[in-house]
Amino acid sequence: MSRKPSGMIEPGDGAKSPAGKAEVKKAEASLALLGVACGVGAALGWALGFAATRHGLKAGLTPVDLLMHRFFWSGLAFLPFVLRSGVGNLCGIGWGRGLALMVLGGPVFSLISYAGFLFVPLGHGSLIQPSCATLGGLFFAAALLGERISPSRFVGAVVIVGGLAVIGGESIRHIGLSGVQGDLIFVLTGFMFAGFGTLLRYWRVSGLSATAVINVLSLLLVPVYVATGGLDRLAAAGLGENVLQAVGQGMLAGPAALFLFAFSVQVLGAGRAAVFPAIVPALTLLVGWLLLGEPPTALQAAGLATVLLGFYLAQRQR
């Protein structure tokens, strides 16, 4: 008769005892804490990426130039992993799903987002896009994944919409219709990223696989970029700006944030992970003020406070 290794707990054995239940709860709490830490790390990466985007556009780079920095370096780094795991099925994700994730969370999403900063200052994009990502994430999690949305989260979503209305009003008064156009771009990209997070959960795609596939598929755009004179624009921007964008876009806002967010979705679920963009607006406004010299206006600050209140309510379980 085989002997059970010491320390092993079989189903229906110690797991049902008080000590076994306590160990399970402790393990679940530790995993949830890791998921929260990853979500916070992703938010910090996005905030720094927003600031780097604004800085690059001011320096004369185009949205396409920023796009290359975001995906080229990480695409090269992940290429051996994808080749080793198998190109035929894209690391088990499949070409259809891989292309869908690339559109919603990869270069298409990023290019549209970068274009929004051509119309509005840093504070708008850094607030509206994460807010709409949270709203969309809560909606998609309930509609497509069947996750329960508590009354507090619903009220928080309504408050967030109110905060966005304040920001939109500031655009009309101080920037004009072009400002509204920029804000609508960030509404679109926010819901795109919400769809990305929901599909990760729905298809059960690992964070590493999603990050690797999106960045490697983006390398397909490099020949088009080179053929349209992209290297000349990078050379004109200077070494310092290119190094800044390689770090800000190619590392922090790109693969690092994408992997951390995808892992938090796996651990916490799409609905709970959708609220991590809550940290992005405050971090980005602070970074923009300290590093770029763009202090928030009074209406932006009021909209930010309203949105953060909505985020607080949306994160509560009751």
Q: Dump pLDDT digits (tens) for 24-65.
A: 777 777 888 888 889 888 988 888 888 888 889 888 898 889
pLDDT in tens, 94-146: 999 999 999 998 889 988 988 888 887 766 777 788 778 878 888 888 888 88
How far is 180 from 173, CA to CA, in rounded Å? 10
How far is 39 from 30, CA to CA, in rounded Å? 14
DSSP-derived 3-state class of residue 263: helix
> What percentage of the chain has pLDDT greater than the value 70?
85
Q: Write down the pTM of the prediction.
A: 0.68
DSSP-derived 3-state class of residue 9: coil
Query: For helices 122-144 and 298-315, what crossing angle results, to 10°?
Result: 20
> What mean pLDDT value characterizes the chain?
81
DSSP-derived 3-state class of residue 205: coil
pLDDT category of residue 316 using cuts at 50, 70 and 90: low
- Residue 7 predicted with pLDDT over 60: no
Q: Write down the pLDDT at residue 232.
A: 92
DSSP-derived 3-state class of residue 315: helix
Would you list the domain boundaries of the chain?
Answer: 34-315
pLDDT category of residue 4 using cuts at 50, 70 and 90: very low
Lowest mean pLDDT, pick from 9-13, 234-238, 291-295: 9-13
pLDDT in tens, 53-62: 888 988 889 8
Residue type, 248: G
Token pair 């992209």 in the structure block, residue: 230
- CA-to-CA dists, residue 226 to 54, 169, 233, 234, 250, angstroms: 23, 40, 10, 11, 18
Lowest mean pLDDT, pick from 159-163, 214-218, 229-233: 159-163
Q: Which two tokens stand for residue 146?
A: 């069947």
How far is 61 from 203, CA to CA, in rounded Å? 36
8 A C-beta contact, residue 67 and residue 114: yes
